[in-house]
Structure 1
C-alpha cells in the first residue's frame, strides 16, 4: 500500500470527516485507524500494534524520550498557565484599556497584529502562540472574532518564517538546498545566496501577506468569516460558545483592579528574550555563524525554558498583587494554575493525534506518491513552477507538514532542473516552498494550524473553515503568477502579475458589509 494511490485514503478520510463533522479527535482517530489498517494489510492485531507504536513514538522513540514533542507540549501547557495568571494579575484588562486609547479602529487592531506576526519570525510555533497572547486583549476589545485573529496569526507566521534566513525554517531549507547543489554540482552560488534569490519568487508569501492587510484595511470578510465577524460586531460574542476553544478558561477567574500593563508585557518579553537566548545557547558552537547557530538550535528546548522564565515572572507579579497590594486572594493560585492547564488540554490532545497521523502517513509514503506524479510528468517547462506549486500544496495539505513537503520536493525540483534546464532550479524550488506553505495553511492536521487557533483562542475547525477562502484566494493569485513566471522566465513578470491581481481585489466593490464599528472606538 505504501507509495500508491491507496496511501491517499487516510488523509482523505481524516480531512473529509473533520470538515463534515467538525469533531477533530474522532476524525483524526479514523484517519489513524485507516492508515494503520493499510500498513498492516488488514491484519487487526498488527493494526493495534502500529497504532500503539505511532502514539508511543510521540513520547518515546529509538530508545529515548522524544524531547522535541514533549517540550512543545509542556510549552503549550506553560503558556496556558501564564495566560491565566496574566489575567488574574490584571494585565489583560490593563493592556486592553491602554491599547484602546491608542488603537482606535478595528483595522488598526488587525494591522498591529499583522506587524507583530511579521516581527516575530524566528519560529512559527513561537510566532503563533506569542502573537496571540499579545494581540488578543486588543482584538477582543475591538470586537474582532477569534477566527479572524487566528487567520491573521496563521498568515503571518509560516509565510514570514519561510523567507527569513535567520529562522528555524530558513536554516532547514538552506540545509536541503545545500545537499541539492552538492548532488548536481552547482558551484556558481551558495545555498544562502539561492535562498535570498528565491525570496521574491515565493509568490504565495507575498499574496498571503498582502491579503491580510487588504482584509484589514477594507474590512473584507467573505465565506464563513463573514458569519463570525457579524456575530462579533453585533453581539460582542467572539467565538461560538458551544464549541471547544483552546486557551479559554471554563469559569471566569478573578482579576486584579490594580494590575498594570507591565503584568502582561514583562512575562511575554521575558519569554521572547529567554527563548532567543536559549536558541543561541543550544545551537552555539565555536566558529559557527549566526545562521548555523539558529540552524542547530533546539527550538523545543528553547521554548520550554523560555516559557518557564515567563511563568516565573507571572508568578512574581501574582505575589505582588496578592501579598503586597492585596488586590486578589492568594488562595486562587492553585485554581488559576489548574484552569490554565485545563484551557490548553484540547490543543495538546489534538496535537498528539495530529502527530500520530502525520507519522503514519509518512510511513505510507503519501508525499512520495504525489511527488512521483511531478517527476513522471512531461509537461512543457513553463508549466513546471505552477505544477510544483500545486503538488507541494497537495502534499502539505494531505500530510499536515510543510517541512515534509520541502524534504520530498526540493530534491525532486533539483532533479527536474538538472534534466530540463538548470536555469529554472530556483523558480522550481521557490514554487515548492510557496505551495507547501499554502497546503499547510489549509490543513486541519497541520501543527501550525492547530497552534495558530490555540494562540488566538479559536476553535480549530472554525479557524480552518474561515481561513480556507482567503488561502485559496492567495493561492489562485500565486498560481497565475507562477504560470507567467514559468513561461516568461521573469521573476518581475510573475510578481507584477501578483501585484495587479491584488490591486484588483483591493478595489473590488463590497456588498452588504457592515462597517458601523470600523471607524470609531468601541466603548
Structure 2
C-alpha cells in the first residue's frame, strides 16, 4: 500500500517539521521513525514495534559508534593533558581578532579532509577555546565546522566520500568510479561556493539573519543564545581538567598520528580488497575500519606520549573512556534515530519511488543538471543522508546517458553530489549536521536554523551555475558566474542588514520575530 509511493516521504518530512517547530530533536525523530514503522506494519501495533526494533538493529553502524566513542576519549585525553588549552593559549597570541579566529578555524576544517565525522569533532574540540576567546558564537562555530566538513570531503579524492561515490558507480562503463569522481570536482559548484562563502564571510566579518542575532549575543557574553545548560557540565569538567604542563605538541602530534594512520589504513584496506594502485586502494578501501584502527593507534600513542611525562595518570586515562562515551551520547542517540529513519524509508521504497517517477530522459538535456540538483537536495534533506542520495541518483544519471555523452554524465553526477551535500548540509536529521553541533557544543536546532539561511544564497548561485553548465559543458564559466551571483547576493544582504549586526534592518527584525 505504501511501498514505492509518495507516502515514503511522509515520515522524514514529519520528523523535520516537528524538529523545526518543537526544537526537540529526539522526540521529533522518534515520531518520524514510529510513523514509518506503522506504515510498514500496516498500522498493526506489534508489527510496527518489531519493524522499528529490527530496523534499528540493522541500521545502526556499530563501527561509527565505536569510532565516535574512541574519538570522544581522545578529545577528553587531549583536554586533560593540557594540549588543547596550550594550543588555545598559543593561538590567542598569534590570532589577534575575531576574523582571524574564524579564518583559522576554516583553514583547519579544510586541512582535515579524510572524513567528515573526524573533521567535525576534531575542529570543534581544538578551536572552541580560540573562538570563545574572541566571542564567536557557538552557532557560527558550528556553521564553519559544517561548511568545511562535507564540502571538503566531497572535493578530496582521498576521503571516505570519494570511496562512497565510487561504490555507487556501475562496473564496466566507459569511465570508472574514481575517474568519474575526480572529473566531477571542478563542477561541484555547491561545495566550492560553500567554501568560498565561509572564507569570504569570515574575512569580511559578514553576519546576517538569525546568525547576526547569535553573534550580537556572543559579543555581550552569551555564546549560546539558548540551551547553554545542555553543555554546562561538559564545559565545567573541561575547565577543571586543564593541565598547566601541557604543550602544543601534546595536541598536534596525536592529530598527525591520527590523520596519518587513517590515510595509511585506508590504503592498506584498499590493497587487501584487491587494488593494484594507490588510487584504486582509496576507491575500494574500508573507511570505517580504517578510522577505528586509527583511533586505537592514536590512543596507544597518547599513552606513550602522556604517561611517562605524568601529564595524566593511568587511572585518569581509564576514566577518559566513559567520559568520552558520555560526551558522545547525544550525538549517538540522534545518529541512531537518523539511521533508523533511513532504514524505514528504504523499507517504504523511497528509492523505488524516485526511480519510477524520475523521467529526466524526456527533459531538455541542458536542464537535466539543474533539475537533478534540486531533486538531490530534496532527497538528502528528507532522508538526512547524502550517501543514500548518491545510491539512488548516481545509477539513474549514468543510465540516462548510457555512456553516449560522457561530459553531460559528469556534469549531472556533479549536480547530484552537489545537491546531496547541500540537502545533507541543511537537514536537521543529517549525521554531519548532528556531529557539527556536537563538535561545536551548540544546540542542534540553533545550528540548523542559522545554517539554513547561509546556505540559501549558495543554492541560488549553484542553481544558476548548473543551468549554464548544461549549455556550455565546461566548468570555468559556471563557476565564475556562480561566484559573481553569490557576491551580488551577499552585497545586497550587507546593504539591508549591515555587518556584524551593527545595523538591524526592518527585514532582519521581522526575520527574528518569525514574520519572514
Q: TM-score, normalised by structure 1?
A: 0.87
The reply to whether residue 294 of structure 1 matches residue 282 of structure 2 is: yes
Equivalent position SS for 2:241: coil
Provide the residue aligned with 1:258 in structure 2: 245
Contact 1:453 1:460 in 2 (8 A): yes
3-state SS of 1:388 partner: helix
Structure 1 CA distance for aligned equivalents of residues 334 and 480 of structure 2: 40
- Look up the match of 1:400: 384
Question: Displacement of 1:55 after TM fit?
Answer: 1.8
Match of 2:260 in 1: 273
**Quick one: distance in 2 between partners of 1:97 and 1:302?**
32
**1:92 aligned residue (84, 96, 99):** 84
Tell me how far 1:126 sits from its aligned partner: 2.1
The whole-number CA distance in structure 1 between the counterparts of 2:316 and 2:473 is: 64
Matched, 1:123 2:99: no
Q: How far 1:287 moved relative to its partner?
A: 5.7
**1:11-26 counterparts in 2 under 5 A?**
11-26=12-27
Shift of 1:241: 4.3
- SS of the equivalent of 2:220 reads helix
Contact 1:88 1:318 (C-alpha < 8 Å) held by counterparts: no
The yes-or-no answer on 1:204 pairing with 2:205 is no
Structure 1 residues 34-49: aligned runs within 5 Å? 34-49=35-50
Aligned to 2:512: none
What residue number does 2:142 align with?
Answer: 150
Distance 1:243 1:293, change over 3 A: farther
Give the drift of 1:422.
Answer: 5.9
CA offset at residue 105 of structure 1?
Answer: 2.1
Q: Which residue of 1 aligns with 2:509?
A: none
What's the counterpart of residue 73 of structure 1?
Answer: 65
Deviation, 1:337, is 4.5
Distance 1:371 1:228, change over 3 A: farther
Question: Once the two structures are superposed, what CA deviation does each residue of 1:423-477 show, in whole Å capped at 9, x if it has no partner?
Answer: 5222211111111111110112211111222222222222211111112221111
Deviation at 1:16, TM superposition (A): 0.5
The offset of 1:85, in angstroms, is 2.5
Q: What do the CA deviations read for 1:224-282 (whole angstroms, capped 9, x no partner)?
A: 22222222222153563445349935644332222221222222222222222322232
Whole-angstrom distance in 1 between the partners of 2:476 and 2:85: 47
Aligned position for 1:111: 103
Question: 2:419, 2:341 → 1: CA distance?
Answer: 21
1:520 is matched with none
**Partner SS, residue 43 of structure 2:** coil
The answer to whether the 8 A contact 1:198-1:427 is kept is yes
Who is 2:291 aligned against?
Answer: 303
The answer to whether 1:341 aligns with 2:342 is: no
Q: CA deviation at 1:397?
A: 0.9
Q: Which secondary structure state, in structure 2, belongs to the residue aligned with residue 288 of structure 1? A: coil
Shift of 1:298: 2.0
For residue 176 of structure 1, report the CA deviation from its aligned partner: 3.2
Q: Does 1:3 align with 2:4?
A: yes
Q: Please give the secondary structure, in 2, of the residue aligned with 1:177.
A: coil
> Is 1:449 equivalent to 2:433 in the alignment?
yes
Displacement after TM superposition at 1:106 (Å): 1.6
Task: Tell whether the 8 Å contact from 1:85 to 1:315 is kept in structure 2 after alignment.
Answer: no
Using a 3 Å threshold, how does the CA distance of structure 1 residues 475 and 243 change in structure 2: closer, same or farther?
A: farther
Aligned to 1:65: none
Alpha-carbon distance, 1:191 to partner:
4.5
My pick for the range that moved more, 472-481 or 139-148, is 139-148
Task: Indicate how the Cα distance of structure 1 residues 49 and 335 shifts in structure 2: closer, same or farther if over 3 A, else same.
Answer: same
Q: Which residue of 2 aligns with 1:469?
A: 453
Aligned residue number for residue 415 of structure 1: 399
TM-score (norm 2): 0.88
For 1:176 and 1:330, the matched residues in 2 are separated by 45
In the superposition, relative to structure 1, how do residues 140 and 249 fare at CA in structure 2: closer, same or farther (>3 Å)? closer
Q: Is the 8 A contact 2:207 2:500 kept in 1?
A: no
Corresponding position of 1:229: 215
Q: Would you say 1:369 and 2:315 are equivalent positions?
A: no
Answer with 427-436 or 170-179: which moved more.
170-179
Relative distance call for 1:53 and 1:337 in structure 2 (3 A) is closer
Match of 2:506 in 1: none
Gaps of 5+ in 2: 503-516
Distance 1:243 1:31 in 2: 27
Alpha-carbon distance change, 281 to 193 in structure 1, aligned in 2, over 3 angstroms: closer
Range with bigger deviation, 376-385 or 126-135: 376-385
**Distance of 2:314 and 2:166 partners within structure 1:** 50
Unaligned runs of 5+ in 1: 60-68, 517-523
| 8 A Cα contact 1:86 1:263, kept in partner | yes
Indicate if the aligned counterparts of 1:358 and 1:399 stay in contact, CA closer than 8 A: yes
CA distance, structure 2, for counterparts of residue 273 and residue 468 of structure 1: 34
What residue number does 1:62 align with? Answer: none
Instruction: Check whether the contact 1:80–1:247 (CA below 8 A) recurs between aligned residues.
Output: no
Q: Distance in 1 between matches of 2:475 and 2:233?
A: 42
Deviations 1:116-169 (A, max 9, x none): 222222222222222223322322222212221221121122112222222222
Change (3 A) 1:239 1:82: farther
Shift in Å, 1:515: 8.2
1:371–1:391: 8 Å Cα contact kept in structure 2? no
Note closer, same or farther for the CA distance 1:372–1:246 as it changes in structure 2 (3 Å cut): farther
